[in-house]
Amino acid sequence: MKCPFTKGVGRLLRAWTGEGTAPTTPFGSIDEWWDASLPHDDKAAKRRMSGHPIYIWWNAWKERNRRIFNLARLTYVEVAHLAFEDITQRRLAFGLPAASLALEPD
């Protein structure tokens, strides 16, 4: 929630998917942040968007482990791309249209 690396991953993922913005005010807990980051009026959008933080955090956790146990590292852009691929695979598995990459970074 506060890690600059993970924030960078989330920022790229939101830009690529065109969905949502990260809350900018400080929160006391992940629960508060989670509730503020999801849309409240559209149930389908809320369900679709709730997976994004999970994929961001999961891939950030895997990157942490990659650095500690494998002595290898990826950039935040590469980790964001892995999270994007996970989101695309989930959408395809549920018969939804695949997310398209809005903009490829250099």
Rounded Cα gap, residues 23 and 106, in angstroms: 26
State which of 11-25, 48-62, 85-99 shows the largest mean pLDDT. 48-62
Domain spans, the chain: 4-93
The mean predicted confidence, pLDDT, of the chain is 82
The mean per-residue pLDDT over the stretch 71-85 comes to 96
pTM of the model: 0.75
Among 25, 23, 14, 76, smallest CA distance to 49 is for 14
> Residues of the chain with pLDDT > 90: what percent?
34
**What pLDDT, in 10s, does the model give residues 29-47?**
778 877 777 777 777 777 7
CB 106 within 8 A of CB 36: no
Span 3-25, mean pLDDT? 82
Q: How far apart are CA 15 and CA 102, in angstroms?
A: 7
Helix H segments across the chain?
4-17, 30-37, 43-69, 76-93
Name the residue with higher pLDDT: 45 or 9. 9
| Whether residue 58 has pLDDT greater than 60 | yes
